[in-house]
Amino acid sequence: MNYIDWIILSSTLLFIVIYGTLKSKGSKNVEEYILADQNTNWWTVGLSVMATQASAITFLSTPGQAFHDGLGFVQFYFGLPLAMIVICIAFIPVYHRLKVYTAYEFLENRFDLKTRTLAAVIFLIQRSVGTGLTIYAPSIILSSILGWNLTYITITIGILIIIYTYFGGTKALNVTQKQQAFVIMFGMFITFLLIIYKFPTEITFSNSLDIASINGKMDILNFSTDPSEKYTVWSGITGGFFLMLAYFGTDQSQVGRYLSGKSIKEIQMGLIMNGALKVPMQFFILLVGVMVFIFFQFNKSPLHFNPNNTRMIENSAYKTQYQELENELDVVLEEKNEITLLYSGQLNQDYDNPILEEKMINLNEKEREIRKQGSELIKKANPSAETNDKDYVFIYFILNYLPHGLIGLLLAVIFSAAMSSSASGLYAIASASAMDLYRSHVKDKTDEQYLKVTKYSVIFWGIVCILTACVINLFENLIQLVNIIGSIFYGTVLGIFLVALFVKYVKAKAIFWTGLFVQISVIYIFLLDIVGYLWLNLIGTLGVILLSIIVQFFINMNSEKKMN
């Protein structure tokens, strides 16, 4: 990075903090601070919802996911448009009619305070971890760039987000997220065009897709019925549907975004906009990752993308062995370069050469094996090292192959996304703890006191999220870890909400004990690792619905016996 990059990056961050702080002036009560006086138009709602979900993890981890595994991850989002329709029809009218501050306030109206508290506590657990992840993600960037201590950077970024969140309000968050969304998509689009521009003259965009397909990067649809498969059409439509229904319908970080809408119609239009654009957006980000893969067919890439691990092994007893693997990789990459250029030239002449295809596949396997051996050496040098480097692929490309100025813009994209999603998460946690845990139990305070509690909650939970971020280790990669955490907890909460909306037969006692039991059971099933994590949403949701009906039946039967 040079001074131009630092100017662009720091200017963006300062603008977010200062603008958010200035826009918060006038938030004199809880309603304005949390709901922005319910005066937000539909397209602001839509962009705010998208920006909240699109964290730094999305732009750090998703391209790396595609670099290694291709476009199949997009199947995860197949259930999202359907979830938006269900939320617009079933959830929004109820929330708007009851004029709730949080989604969990509705559960007290339908069941009792115990059930509201249970759902709020489950939310606070999973969202505090999720927000910790969104703080941790950009910390990786600065740690990689500057070689600074990761923990210190995490704490610094977390404090910056606490300040921005504390002085902000939902109105400020909604406004800044519109600008953040523009910066994010503009930066990614420019990067996509620049990658293609940097391809050799023999490589057209069409050729690059053919090359990616040969290397298994264009396999979008997986119709396997094996429940242990992580990403399939069926898990995306079912498990992904329930996860998105839970996230957008019951997670306060999202519910809080659209509860500020002017009317039911404005909220519904904003969510439909999100449903229409989200899958194409994720596909585009994954495609950027595939283009990075193609780019590295013609440009040097490291044996391992995590610079911290590379520095560590270069100072270990395995340095010589690691250098030998690097030399082997260079030979393979050079041969891949020649074969790929030759194949592309023949494609330009409308000739598809199966011999060259097979050579590319074999070379790709060799490259994968060499990288695997490199990871094994890193593990030998430091058994506690995380050898999965997916989250470092895109940042390596940004720092080493993009021109100055664009580097600063892409880092601004990632930090904008981080601050947007982290602030939304922190607002949601503070709102839930203040409204669902404090105000619901302590009812004799003034509105100003509730506002103070909400703001103090921002500080408390901000510290919790920072501590969480400091102890997180990479698990597969960040984008997967976020979704795994959601899958563990969302199903139970969604089940409670669906029963509340559609199963009037079930009462408070049955739903509370069922929800508690199912949540513990889902955690146990996850620890056994017997199904893909997306199925946990379905298991949790259906478990709560079916079991609560059974429990209510026995409660009713027992009551009848006592009466007789």
Task: Find out whether 432 and 35 touch, Cβ atoms under 8 Å.
Answer: no
How many residues in total does the chain contain? 564
pTM: 0.80
**Residues whose CB is less than 8 angstroms from the CB of residue 460 and which lie 6 or more positions away in sequence, other chains included:** 433
Q: How confident is the model at residue 20 (pLDDT cuts 50, 70, 90)?
A: low
Which residues make beta-bridge pairs with 40? 261
What pLDDT was estimated at residue 183? 73
d(CA 476, CA 481): 7
What pLDDT was estimated at residue 30? 62
- pLDDT at residue 149 tops 90: no
Share of the chain above pLDDT 70, in %: 90
What pLDDT was estimated at residue 25? 58
What pLDDT was estimated at residue 509? 94
What pLDDT was estimated at residue 549? 96
Q: How confident is the model at residue 442 (pLDDT cuts 50, 70, 90)?
A: confident
Beta strands in 383-458 (DSSP E): none
Mean pLDDT to the nearest integer, 344-361: 81
Q: Is 444 exposed, middle or buried (0-12, 13-18, 19+ CB in 10 A)?
A: exposed
Task: Find out whether 403 and 2 touch, Cβ atoms under 8 Å.
Answer: no
Among 173-187, 254-268, 316-330, 439-453, the range scoring the smallest mean pLDDT is: 173-187
**Residues whose CB is less than 8 angstroms from the CB of residue 372 and which lie 6 or more positions away in sequence, other chains included:** none
**What digits encode the pLDDT tens for the residues 501-548?**
999 999 999 999 999 999 999 999 998 887 877 788 889 999 999 999
- pLDDT at residue 476 tops 50: no
Of the two residues 27 and 317, the one the predictor is more confident about is 317
φ, ψ of residue 306 in degrees (nearest 5): -80, 110
What pLDDT was estimated at residue 131? 87
Mean pLDDT to the nearest integer, 9-18: 76
φ, ψ of residue 138 in degrees (nearest 5): -70, -20
What pLDDT was estimated at residue 495? 94
- pLDDT at residue 22 tops 70: no
What pLDDT was estimated at residue 374? 92
Could you write out the DSSP letters of every residue in 205-263? HHHHHHHHHHTT----------TT-SS-HHHHHTHHHHHHHHHHHH-HHHHHHHTTBSS
Q: Looking at residue 437, what DSSP letter applies?
A: I
Of the two residues 267 and 148, the one the predictor is more confident about is 267
Average per-residue pLDDT for the chain? 84
